[in-house]
Amino acid sequence: MAYQVTMPQMGYDMTEGTINRWMVEEGAAVARGDVIASIATEKADIDIEAYASGVLRKILVQPGSKVPVGQTIAIIADPAEELSEPPAGGEDPAAEGSAASAEPPSKDPVSSTKSGKPTRTKPVGEQPDSTPGSTPVPDWAQQLAGHALEPAPAGRSHSAGGRIKASPLARRRARELGIALEGVQPTGPDGRIKAEDVEAASRGEAAAPLRRSLGVAPQFDPGDPSEALELSPMREAIARRMAESNSTIPHFHLTTEARMEALLRLRHEMNQLGDAELPKFSVTDFIVRAMALTLQRHPSLNAAWIGHGVRRFSQSNIALAVALPDGLVAPVLRGCESLTFAALSRQAHDVAARAKTGRLRPEELSGGHTAISNLGMFGVSQFSAIITPGQGSVLAVGEVREVPVVLDGQLAPGHLLALTLAIDHRVTDGAQGAEALRYLRWLLEHPTACLV
């Protein structure tokens, strides 16, 4: 039996991926578990494994091509088996939103990949099921996508019943980008709107009247020399998710300053131990540990708005923002409250290093309950960060500043660290957030408590 290898969905907001390279050639034998391709997602480069043994009979998508989630990119089959191939490069509407699979059938049609996401095997010729639980769309975006801002051109992308013909992925992208389908020029078969058409409309003149109606049309001087930059998948993801966050999450911000003299002394002493088994501890290590303990002490902060309600978590899963040349990525440290200080420091340093080389594992890119963004190394004294959808808060950390402080009524040199906590107001309120931030500050000012 032949099996399809499909573009996997690594994260609830992933809609497409790019083929980096094929690790095996067409016609080569593969075994279950072999890495057969590398793909680039919005967050990292990820290897795809074969979930069936056989021969890589057909490669349907070449390196450099963008592919919607769920589209077939290759076929694994027996050498002599006759294939009924899906069209190469075409959109498979029913497959949009499904996870990758090339796994042989079993008694239970649902299995799991290494990332823990359920997948359904699908022999060639069988239409895969669409996966529920795609990115939640705010009410205003749904209303916008369903409301025509201008009359639709006659005879374009409408079925006999007047319904616009568009793929599910195209409808999703239209909601995310705020584009009315009535104004999109279709290029698909029989006047069908594809996701690429919506993307083109969002960048081109076709979207200009829609954006003017929204009051967000880009304004620039045509005489001012400029160029349009091609966005990387990561930059597009950041733009989409931050716009979603800013428009759908009601942020409120709390700021405090922590005295850092005791922490800096303790860190210096620990780093002078000369133990090769211990990492060189950083201020960020103490902040991550303090946040992990704070989430346990104040569970109202260890929660997020998921779907239509609040979900409270038991573990302290913390995303650590890492700056990259083209944006940032936030790998997640899981169960931080149960790790020793040294183990937590090792993990934080490890994921930060692998994030900079694009070698994070899929499971490290999701599941965070809060995030920490530290810009102190860039000389930033204080700032506010934006909450990532699916999380309930984010802590913005500035630099440790040497400043005069009042100590027992006398001026003395001191070190202060500004901390700004952004919280989703749907999840908790100002008083609870202030109590949590006060406890976080206490931990940093009494750093031995972070070692327990």
DSSP 135-155: ----HHHHHHHTS-SSPPPTT
The region of weakest confidence among 195-204, 209-218, 245-254, 270-279 is: 209-218
Residues in the chain: 452
Nearest to 173 by CA among 197, 153, 190, 157: 197
Round to whole Å and give the CA distance between 236 and 245: 14
Please compute the mean of the pLDDT values over residues 417-430 and round it to a whole number.
97
Nearest to 138 by CA among 178, 105, 89, 165: 178
Partners of 17 in the β-ladder: 67
In terms of pLDDT, which residue wins out, 116 or 68? 68
Tell me: pLDDT of 108 over 60. Answer: no
Tell me: pLDDT of 171 over 70. Answer: yes
Residue 204, classed as helix, strand or coil, is: coil
Tell me: pLDDT of 59 over 60. Answer: yes
The region of weakest confidence among 143-147, 157-161, 191-195, 210-214 is: 143-147
Residue 146 has a pLDDT of 37
Percent of the chain with pLDDT strictly greater than 70: 77
Element (H, E) at 255: strand 251-259
Round to whole Å and give the CA distance between 437 and 416: 15
Element (H, E) at 353: helix 341-356
Tell me: pLDDT of 407 over 70. Answer: yes
> How many CA atoms, within 13 angstroms, populate the side-chain half-sphere of residue 182?
15
Residue 84 has a pLDDT of 66
Q: Phi, psi (5° rounding) for residue 366?
A: -150, 170
Tell me: pLDDT of 435 over 80. Answer: yes
Residue 285 has a pLDDT of 97
Nearest to 448 by CA among 288, 341, 338: 341
Please compute the mean of the pLDDT values over residues 350-371 and round it to a whole number.
88
Please compute the mean of the pLDDT values over residues 92-112 and round it to a whole number.
37
In terms of pLDDT, which residue wins out, 183 or 334? 334
Q: Kindly indicate the confidence band of residue 293, based on its pLDDT and cuts at 50, 70 and 90.
A: very high
In terms of pLDDT, which residue wins out, 184 or 368? 368
In terms of pLDDT, which residue wins out, 88 or 383? 383
What is the full DSSP assignment across 223-252? Answer: TS---PPPPPHHHHHHHHHHHHHHHHS-EE
Residue 220 has a pLDDT of 63
- Dihedral sign, Cα of residue 61, residue 63, residue 68, residue 69: positive
Residue 244 has a pLDDT of 84
Q: Which residues are identified as catalytic?
A: 425
Which CATH architecture best describes the domain 3-120? Beta Barrel (2.40)
Element (H, E) at 49: strand 45-49
Residue 440, classed as helix, strand or coil, is: helix
Take residue 292 and report the two structure tokens written for it.
């992990």
* CATH 2.60.40.10 given to domain 249-451: no
Tell me: pLDDT of 215 over 60. Answer: no
Q: Quick: pLDDT tens for 303-324.
A: 999 988 999 999 999 999 999 8
In terms of pLDDT, which residue wins out, 308 or 256? 256
Q: Kindly indicate the confidence band of residue 373, based on its pLDDT and cuts at 50, 70 and 90.
A: very high
Cβ pair 346, 279 in contact under 8 A: yes
Place of tokens 């919607």: 68
Q: Is the pTM of this model over 0.95?
A: no
Round to whole Å and give the CA distance between 131 and 169: 12
Residue 206 has a pLDDT of 41
* Residues contacting 428, CB < 8 A, separation 6+: 300, 301, 303, 392
Cβ pair 179, 206 in contact under 8 A: no
Please compute the mean of the pLDDT values over residues 229-238 and round it to a whole number.
78
Give the DSSP letter of residue 349.
H
Q: Is 406 exposed, middle or buried (0-12, 13-18, 19+ CB in 10 A)?
A: exposed
Strand 16-22, strand 370-374: pairing: unpaired
Percent of the chain with pLDDT strictly greater than 90: 40
The region of weakest confidence among 18-27, 86-95, 224-233 is: 86-95
The region of weakest confidence among 125-129, 184-188, 386-390 is: 125-129
Residue 162 has a pLDDT of 60
Q: Phi, psi (5° rounding) for residue 266?
A: -65, -45
Residue 115 has a pLDDT of 40
For 139-214, CATH number out of 4.10.320.10, 1.10.10.10, 3.40.50.720, 3.90.1150.30 equals 4.10.320.10
Round to whole Å and give the CA distance between 376 and 282: 12
Tell me: pLDDT of 152 over 60. Answer: no
> How many CA atoms, within 13 angstroms, populate the side-chain half-sphere of residue 24?
23
Residue 421 has a pLDDT of 98
Residue 424, classed as helix, strand or coil, is: strand
Q: Kindly indicate the confidence band of residue 47, based on its pLDDT and cuts at 50, 70 and 90.
A: confident
Take residue 378 and report the two structure tokens written for it.
């860039």
Domain borders along the chain are 3-120, 139-214, 249-451
Q: Quick: pLDDT tens for 340-349.
A: 999 999 999 9
